[in-house]
Chain A
Amino acid sequence: MEDVQVVAMLVRRCVAGDAAAWEEIVQTYNRRIYNICYRFAGSANDAEDLTQEVFIKMYRTLTSYDSSKGAFVTWVTTITRNLLVDHFRKTKQDRITDSLDATASSREDAQPLSEQIQDQSAPPDARVRSREVGETVHAALARLSPELREAVILRDLQDFDYREIATVLKVPEGTVKSRINRGRAELARLLQRTYRQVM
């Protein structure tokens, strides 16, 4: 996933005060962190704020990174995950599966999940359809419990292996696999139920 030596050198330079090294780290990891935040928080605005917070925290604690204890990306993802959990606890959006009549976002005028799926076959353009399906799945993903959501995001969207996920989530690998399977099944049930209503 990353060249350990190169990243370790980059971090050493950054700790030594090399601002260009820090910018390189930001350039390399901002996309990954933004996507994790976006999929977990569900909103682009929240994702942007959270990504900035992650990098600020990273910048302050960069000296605590020990390359012998694990990959830099795992360390970065752990910081991201902890911050997301904190954010989740603050906003108290704890839930497992919402009603299909619930809107996909916090906006009152947003379309319910069932209507979003109903519209997905309407546009002829495959790219537009794919984008709308993506938005529907994203909305369904936001309905998963945070434990299942974070495991699914790290595995299926970020391609982490089980050991790395176990390190980030601080749970055994067996628990990680179980959460991933339950998350996928829950997502499928939610989307299939929606599909049946539409059809």
Chain B
Amino acid sequence: MPDHTSNGMQCHEFDGLLSDALDGVLTGLQLDRFQAHVRTCSACGPLFAEVEAGRNWLKDLTEVEPPVSLVNNILASTTGVDTQRLRVNVSAPQPRIGWVERAQAWASGAMQPIWRTVRQPRFAMSFGMAFFSLSVALSVLGVKPADLRQVSLRPAAIRHTYYNTQARVVRYYENIRFVYEVESRVRELKRNVTPTEPRSGEAAPVKKDHKDDTTQQPEQKQERNYSQTDSRIILASAPMGPSVNDLPVVSVTTYRRFV
């Protein structure tokens, strides 16, 4: 813009007052000087007309309506919560925020990332499996929730609980069918391999009649036939009979009761 003086006003001064003149805030002598400059200055006159025209053109621009989904999209991308729920009480007067509410808000904000992680299906599945495994383990060990109330932390009580638990575990182990079958097989093998000491004049060992048969079969004692007993005595005492070593080996399988 050429800087020359017209009617006591320079063009750079005109430029500074142009906005105020269009806004209608110029008054008095300043307005008169401005208008006189507009009329006489060959550069500022057309400029004033253009600026005024441009402002008038811009008046044709009305506000446009944002898309209907804009607010929902914004809320979804910021808070990520259901907007319908938030609309409740938006216009209602809000109470003053106390320190308790602030603490709660802070806590909820701090817990939000953790809660978001917890809500993931993968985490829920892992937690479920861990809980299931723990429940099975406690059930196997015989721990009941009711027992926890009676837990005493005295050293003697703890020792007692320890030995009790140990005994229970050992009992459980030994009562496993597979374990005691293996043990009996081992005992049988040992008996077969180890030679029995021959004792002359000693009768064959009479099998002790235990009541540990759990096969639900009637006891042998009830069917004892004394005539057979007598004949056995005769056989044992017969000098010409087979020696102890020649007698057939009777395999005995013992069954223990499950506790």
Contact = CB atoms under 8 A, between A and B. Distances in A.
B106 A59 contact: no
Contact of B64 (A22, A38, A55, A56): A38
Nearest to B96: A9
Contacts of B50: 184-185, 188-189, 192
A52 B97 contact: no
Contacts, number: 138
Interface in B37-57: 47, 50-55, 57
A84 interface: no
A156 B108 contact: no
B97 A51 contact: no
A134 B79 contact: no
Contacts of A51: 66, 70, 74
A184 B71 contact: no
Contacts of A55: 74, 77-78
Given A20-B86, A188-B57, A52 B74 contact: yes
A185 B52 CA distance: 8
A24 B92 CA distance: 11
Interface of B is mostly: helix
Interface residues of B, number: 45
B81 interface: yes
Contacts of A134: 60-62
Given A23-B87, A184-B55, A188-B53, A31 B63 contact: yes
Contacts of B78: 22, 26, 55-56, 59
Contact of B54 (A16, A31, A35, A184): A184
Contacts of B18: 177, 181
Nearest to B76: A52
Interface in A56-99: 56, 59
Given A20-B88, A185-B50, A188-B53, 16 more contacts: A13-B97, A16-B97, A16-B102, A19-B86, A26-B75, A39-B61, A55-B74, A56-B74, A134-B60, A134-B61, A152-B58, A181-B51, A184-B50, A184-B55, A186-B54, A189-B50
11 contacts: A20-B87, A27-B90, A34-B66, A51-B70, A133-B60, A141-B58, A156-B58, A157-B61, A185-B50, A187-B58, A191-B54
Q: 7 tightest CB-CB pairs across the interface, nearest first? A: A184-B54, A17-B105, A188-B54, A34-B66, A188-B53, A185-B50, A156-B58
